[in-house]
Structure 1
Amino acid sequence: MQTNEQKVALVSGANTGIGFQIAKALTNNGYAVYVGSRNLQKGMTAVAEIGGQAKAIQLDITDSNSINAAVKIIENEFGYLTLLVNNAAISHAGHSGRTMEEVLGAQRASIVPINEIETVWKTNVFGTLEITQAFLPLLQNAPAARIVTVSSALGSLVLNSNPENPYRSAFDAVYGASKTALNGIFLSLAIELENTNIKVHLVSPGFTATALNNFQGTDTVEEGSVEPIRVALAEDIPTGSFTGPSNFSGVNNSLPW
């Protein structure tokens, strides 16, 4: 077991995309980083590229056994966790290979099958909360800890209620609304924990080209990772923040709920 002078992070969904970039940046800044991946081999491949104190860990946030096993590993090796980055998410539950427009068309509130909403929310909302609850004891064991959850400006009710918002048509009942629910739950958690050693932050990467949108986003993964990395590394941001890229946000990168 290490002393808690060593900063320890866990990043879910870190074998590719924005999660990979966050894990790499944390490693480069001296963190011991657990690279969460549903497929352990893919996680090991990512770790080989990241180097440093990165270590692959099998993690499926929809599987309680997988979550509990990850908790045991980190508890045995360090006994605490400095930073939890909730990055794992899915955008749809239908067949792959569809364009973003096709996916959004099928996820309109008037027609989407309820089981598809349940599948996506099981990962984006319930799985994200379950892993957070499971790691709270280890976060409480750190002198100062943070929870950074990758959300989306697409989940902002204020932005989506504005007819002038060019992204408004993409606010669907499955992915977009899952981020609204996620924001609400983690704002609730921030309020609950505001007098503890744990800060809670939500961050939007912007419209980034990843597997979530069939790589049709306007920003590269590197560009989309800038704000999540900034928030993951910062230790002085007031708890309860919701921020995004400076070109899509208000003052100080803040996003409206």
Structure 2
Amino acid sequence: MSRKRMITKKKKIVLLVGTAALVGSAAFAMTGTGNAGQRQGNESSRCNGLARLGADHQRFIANERANPNVNSRARIANSIAAIRQIRQQQQSAGCNGSGRRQAVPPGDRQGGGDQGAQRGGRGRCNGLARLGADHQRFIANERANPNVNSRARIANSIAAIRQIRQQQQSAGCNGSGRRQAAQVVCAGSTVTLSGEGGAPAASSNQFPAGTQLRVTNLDNNRSTTVEVNSPSGSCVLLNNAAFEQVREPGKNVIRNVRVERVG
């Protein structure tokens, strides 16, 4: 009985000390409010997004290995290269855990003050842009060499591209798909229809999947905002449903048109 009581007392002491430490840690963490807390939230969001992208590539590689075809080796190599790039972005962003590299000490990561932060931001933005481009190339390859798994793979890559866009917006990236104010694009181009069905959408040879474009027919002042979901041979090509929203009766080409990138 004596020994049991001693063990019980020791356990209670350990529990009390552990609880006190947790409370102290929580109190310390709660003091980091304001701008520091907001920055940590943004960093956490970026890190979570990059971790999800890495996991998507890992699942894709596993699926390719489980269901190989003539293109699997190249696809796996592309995903491995993308994962390496994600690791670099995680390191640059100072992400921890989930199989990612450890954060660089703040003094080293911030070296150079604002200039260092700007360089780090550019590095993140460039890396995210490259990841998006990798997915675009993958989508184009799947469409050029389709198989029974292509539809699901393309859908996964489009979802990954949307996640990349969110990360670019959160990181305040400029260009290369950053969500921004309306920008006139495709100057001098005409717009026609692709003949494809489905919900209103567009295809483009200049803008990646997920890009939002507003197309205005200046002859009848009708406009539609659509999302690019595939590549094409034109700056912008509308599917049937989107074209109907801006069409003039009897015409299949819009020559007097304004195209704006809105997201």
* Superposed pair shares fold, TM > 0.5: no
Q: TM-score, normalised by structure 2?
A: 0.29
Q: Which has the higher contact order (CA 8 A, sep 6+)?
A: 1
Rg larger for: 2
